[in-house]
Amino acid sequence: MTLPRGLSRRDILLKIGIVFNGLVGAVLAIPIVRYILSPVTRGRRPGYETWLSLGSIDQFPAGQTRLASYRNPMANPWDGETANVACWVRHIDGESFQVFAINCAHLGCPVRWFPQSSLFMCPCHGGVYYSDGSRASGPPERGLFEYTFKIENGRLLTKAGEMPTPGSSAGIYGTRPPCA
Ligand code: FES
């Protein structure tokens, strides 16, 4: 093989090495750059504080508690069904609602609503809650976690992006006193 004029084998290998190292450096720099720019890019994505729609308020008849779901605002497109999070909506009357996290305040199992007894029951260790989410019996030390909500254009919106911390004695937003 004839080398280009003025270039030694050593020069060529050196240039190939520089290009190769540059490529590796660029690949390694991608996550660092993404981390540095994350406050900017995160600002464009919906976050914990986003109001999430639970659907039309007509879906929740007064006096009933119904299952609803929202899309986790921190989800990635590839999360699929796992980003759909269930919650319980209690329509008291008029514009008075309660939106409960589905997770038991003990260790986080999904609680079920039993309209026959007007109780939420946890299948894991027998935790029971009254219809207003307050603790009735069992191992949970507090009532169900409750999300803030608002009604806008006939739709029920909630700030449910922040996941509850089972076992915590404080409400998600500190607005709900611990239920004994
Ligand atoms: Fe519900 Fe333990 S997780 S009672």
The per-residue pLDDT for range 133-145, each reduced to its tens digit, is 999 999 999 999 9
Q: Is the pTM of this model over 0.75?
A: no
Nearest CA to ligand 1 atom 3: 107
The per-residue pLDDT for range 26-48, each reduced to its tens digit, is 999 998 988 888 777 666 666 67
Q: What is the CATH classification number for the domain harbouring 153? A: 2.102.10.10
Concatenated DSSP letters of 60-124: S-TT-EEEEEEE-TT--GGGGGGGEEEEEEEEEETTEEEEEESB-TTT-PBPEEETTTTEEE-TT
74 and 123 in a single domain? The answer is yes
Residue 2 is assigned to a structural domain of this protein: no
C-alpha 171/C-alpha 160 separation (Å) is 12
Q: Which carries the bigger pLDDT value, residue 125 or residue 3?
A: 125
**Rounded CA separation 180/141 (Å):** 7
**Average pLDDT, stretch 6-30?**
90
The residue segments making up the domain with residue 40 are 7-44
Closest CA to 156 of 97, 100, 103: 97
Assigned domain for 15 exists: yes
85 and 39 share one domain: no
The residues, any chain, with a CB within 8 Å of residue 142's CB and separated by 6 or more, are 105, 135, 168, 169, 178, 179, 180
> How far apart are the CA of 42 and the centre of ligand 1, in A?
34
Whether residue 33 is found in the same domain as residue 57:
no
Structure confidence at residue 180 (pLDDT): 33
Residue 164 is assigned to a structural domain of this protein: no
Q: Using the mean position of ligand 1's atoms as its centre, give its distance from the Cα of residue 83 in Å.
A: 22
Please check whether residues 81 and 104 belong to one and the same domain: yes
- Radius of gyration of the chain, Cα coordinates, nearest whole angstrom: 26
16 has a pLDDT exceeding 70: yes
Is residue 164 lining ligand 1, measured as CB closer than 6 Å? Answer: no
Instruction: Using pLDDT thresholds of 50, 70 and 90, give the confidence band for residue 174.
Output: very low
* Shared domain check, 146 and 79: yes
Cα distance between residue 179 and residue 116, in whole Å: 23
Contact 66, 89 (CB under 8 A): yes
pLDDT at 11: 87
pLDDT at 66: 97
pLDDT for the residue numbered 167: 57
Instruction: Look at residue 125 and tell me if it is in a domain.
Output: yes
Within this chain, do residues 12 and 40 fall inside the same structural domain, yes or no? yes
Q: How long, in residues, is the chain?
A: 180
The pLDDT of residue 50 is 84
Task: Examine the pLDDT at 172 and tell me if it is beyond 60.
Answer: no
Q: Answer yes or no: is 170 within a domain.
A: no
Q: How many domains does the chain have?
A: 2
Evaluate: CB of 133 within 6 angstroms of ligand 1: no
Nearest Cα neighbor of 139 from 175, 166, 100, 114 is 166
Q: Is residue 147 part of a domain?
A: yes
Q: Is residue 180 part of a domain?
A: no
What pLDDT score was predicted for residue 163? Answer: 63
Q: What does the pLDDT average to over 106-119? A: 96
The sign one gets for the Cα dihedral 23, 27, 32, 35 is: positive
pLDDT of residue 92: 95
**Are residues 28 and 103 part of one domain?**
no
